Amino acid sequence: MAEANKEILICRCQEVTLAMVEEAIAEGAFSVDGVKKRTRAGMGLCQGKSCERLVAKIIAEKTGQDPADVLPATSRPPVRPVKMGTIEGEMNA
């Protein structure tokens, strides 16, 4: 692949390039979570909504897996600080 293509952004939120994803795969990341742990792809504001399928497609191409067999990222709800008064109010209700 041309060197210019290696700089294509796969995850815009975290500025992860194609080269970074390919390097993670070469280091043994065979799932979306594996790539995410090595590159932070999918950890930005969109939480992988725009890049998770791209990462899965690249993994499938590089490893020869069927795209349906590539394990997706585990999703977790966002953590937000909560004021103690809010919790206290719910406990007294």
Q: Which pLDDT belongs to residue 82?
A: 76
pLDDT per position as a tens digit, 22-54: 999 999 999 999 999 999 999 998 889 999 999
Domain limits for position 17? 3-92
Counting the structural domains of the chain, the total is 1
Q: What percent of the chain has pLDDT over 90?
A: 59
Burial of 5 (0-12, 13-18, 19+ CB in 10 A): exposed
Tell me how far apart the alpha carbons of residues 25 and 45 are, in angstroms, rounded to a whole number. Answer: 23
36 contacts 25 by C-beta, under 8 angstroms:
no
The residues near 58 (Cβ < 8 Å, ≥ 6 apart) are 10, 18, 21, 22, 25
Mean pLDDT over 61-76 rounds to 89
- The domain spanning residue 41 has which CATH number? 1.10.10.1100
Show the CA angle centred on residue 69, arms to residues 68 and 72, nearest 5°. Answer: 85
